[in-house]
Amino acid sequence: MRAQNRRRTAIALAVIMLLLLPAPAAGEDEDPEDGLPSWAWPVVTREVIVPFRAPAHEYGAGHRGIDIAATPGEVVRSPADGIVAFRGAVVDRQLLTIDHGSGLVTTFEPLVSTLNPGAIVAAGDEIGTVDVGGHARPGTLHLGVRLDGDYINPMLLFGGVPRAVLLPCCAAL
């Protein structure tokens, strides 16, 4: 139980650290509300078909990314600068992983790409095309983001996580 609490605390601290990143350089898109750099969407649509669902524990059920509406064959672009860390097949799907530095790593699947590990990509560069296969239903692109090895909600980087709103509690009967 203590190990689980330490892990949750570490993840919470990592997310807080991500939110405290320095302001973007001139010319970078910025979310005016919190000053974080805004990542570019990898495909034209911004429709999230399956949202991120954090697992209760390391091996628990959940959805460690988002599935975005995308047509097979559609061009996929890098959401931020980085270096291709992996390209290849895992089980029954093609995927590509980009290391963006500062502990941030993105994985796209299913994705067909000609890029090789070590290739440098800039935000907006074409990294491949949407394929079919794997756990993502046809017509979607799965995007997972890890921060220091732990999955986080990709919407934190796209400015799409709404702020928590506390509601009144315990209304009088």
If you write DSSP's letter for every residue of 9-78 in order, what string do you get?
A: HHHHHHHHHHHTPPPPPTTS-B-TTT-PBPPPPSSS---EEE--B--SSTTSS-B-SEEEE--TT-EEE-
Question: Please, which residues bridge with residue 93 across strands?
Answer: 90
**Does position 140 have pLDDT exceeding 80, yes or no?**
yes
With a pLDDT cut of 90, the percent of the chain lying above it is: 46
Average pLDDT, integer, range 141-150? 93
Segments making up each domain of the chain, as ranges = 41-158
Domain 41-158 has CATH 2.70.70.10: yes
87-120 per-position pLDDT tens digit = 999 888 899 999 999 899 999 999 999 999 999 9
Q: What is the DSSP string of 61-111?
A: S-B-SEEEE--TT-EEE-SS-EEEEEEEEETTEEEEEEEEETTEEEEEESE
